[in-house]
Amino acid sequence: MNATPHLAALLFSLLSVGILLAEEPAPAEKSVDDLGQDDLQKLFGILRERHVQRADLGPDELNRAAMQGLLERLGFGAELLEQKADDAGSTAAPAFVAETIAPGIGYLRPAFDEAGLESATEALGQFADEDLAHLILDLRIPGGGENFQPAADLAELLSPARQPLFEIQHPEAEEVTRFESESAAIWEGDLVLLVDASTGPLAEVVGAALRAQPERHVLAIGEATSGRAVLYETTPVREGLALRFAVAEVLLPGGETLFRKGITPEVVVELEPAVRDDLGARFAEEGVARWSAETPRERFSEAALVAGVNPEIDYAAANHGRKPPPAEKRDTVVQRAVDIVSARTFLEANDPE
């Protein structure tokens, strides 16, 4: 077994705490990736014999440094998880929501469980009956990575029959697991995907699979996803500790991997995670439109004149001597999606050609 990657990770971790390699004639930082096996062994020997903290560089510390450096290099390809007896698992996904939020525009925030798939099937069927031309698919949903069948099931609802969706490729394996749609889409139209760093592996695969279909018009809005679309395996290390690591890549029909790449939206809209989560929790009970559409302040108008009231005076009196109240928070990602779709619909309806 080639030990160079292991040693390189160890040296990377040691160097990250304050040790720099020197090259003549001037000091310069050097990448451990440029070092060979002999270089690494020699450097370890120097550090263990002459470093000011050489007493702390025993076998246990070197092994910890090696693991720390390796995990840092692998990023979210491998991570240590602390497991508690009452641990409910990964971050809870937001509740399923389906709503017509504007004329001709449907909104769907799916859930990747059996009940969620049934609800999505019913909602998409209703959107089709209403002849909605546009769908905002909110994929700002964490979780997943151990089983990608739910991602295939959801993508199938929006894909034509016999459409390749994605495949799972294990390293050095001759066979791959392929997913494709078996039946025609329940709803057909233009898609707008909402994504950001909270988009988990399942949601990320759904979005990428839909964007990869050449005949679909799919626009992504929000922020870049993290690129966690890999098959994970979790192995217990000891009681209370487990290692979660990637064992296979998810590939699109063209062979493109999402790992460490993710989805880059065409329209970037930033939203504070705390605001997103707070408003997202209210979507199921209070409606999406309530927390995504602007509510203009009432102004003086002909109707107010007839009613014998003046909203301008009432507003000024209520805020006399103090700053006007701050505007309510809005999910600006959903708001921007509605604005873009509405503008496009208007332009197409008024196109002289």
338 Cβ contact partners less than 8 Å away, ≥ 6 residues apart: 101, 102, 105, 136, 292, 293
Across 232-256, average pLDDT:
90
pLDDT of residue 347 exceeding 50, the answer is yes
Residue 318 pLDDT: 61
Q: Which pLDDT value is given to residue 85?
A: 55
Helix/strand/coil (H/E/C) assignment for every residue in the chain: CCCHHHHHHHHHHHHCCCCCCECCCCECCCCHHHCCHHHHHHHHHHHHHHCCCHHHCCHHHHHHHHHHHHHHHHHHHEEEEECCCCCCCCCCCCCCEEEEEECCEEEEECCCCHHHHHHHHHHHHHHHHCCCCEEEEECCCCCCCCCCHHHHHHHHCCCCCCCEEEEEECCCCCCCEEEECCCCCCCCCEEEEEECCCCCHHHHHHHHHHHCCCCCCEEEEECCCCCCCEEEEEEEEECCEEEEEEEEEEECCCCCECCCCCCCCCEECCCCHHHHHHHHHHHHHHCCHHHCCCCCCCCCCHHHHHHCCCHHHHHHHHCCCCCCCCCCCCCHHHHHHHHHHHHHHHHHHCCCC
Write down how long the chain is: 353
Mean of the per-residue pLDDT values of the chain: 84
Question: How far out from the chain centre does Cα 274 lie?
Answer: 15
Structure tokens belonging to residue 77 = 């390809």
Q: 97-268 has which fold?
A: 2-enoyl-CoA Hydratase; Chain A, domain 1 (3.90.226)
Residue 289 has pLDDT above 60, yes or no: yes
**pLDDT tens by residue, 176-212:** 889 999 999 999 999 999 999 999 999 999 999 999 9
pLDDT, position 172: 74
What is the reported pTM? Answer: 0.78
The packing angle between helices 4-15 and 37-50, to 10°, is 40
Q: Where are the domains of the chain?
A: 4-76, 97-268, 295-329
Tell me: the pLDDT tens digits for 83-103?
A: 765 554 456 778 999 999 999
Between 317 and 93, name the one with better pLDDT: 93
Return the higher-pLDDT residue of 29 and 346: 346
Under the banding of pLDDT at 50, 70 and 90, the label for residue 52 is: confident
Percent of the chain with pLDDT over 70: 80
At residue 266, does pLDDT exceed 90?
A: yes
Report the pLDDT value the prediction gives residue 199, as an integer from 0 to 100: 96
- Asked if 135 and 193 touch (Cβ cutoff 8 Å), the reply is no
Check whether 27 has a pLDDT greater than 50. yes
Instruction: Answer whether residue 152 shows pLDDT above 60.
Output: yes
Identify which of 23-27, 120-124, 248-252 has the greatest average pLDDT: 120-124
Of 7-21, 158-172, 257-271, the range with the lowest mean pLDDT is: 7-21
Is pLDDT at 9 greater than 50 in this prediction? yes
Q: Would you state the pLDDT for residue 106? A: 97
**Is pLDDT at 272 greater than 70 in this prediction?**
yes
pLDDT at 198: 95
Who wins on pLDDT, 169 or 56?
169
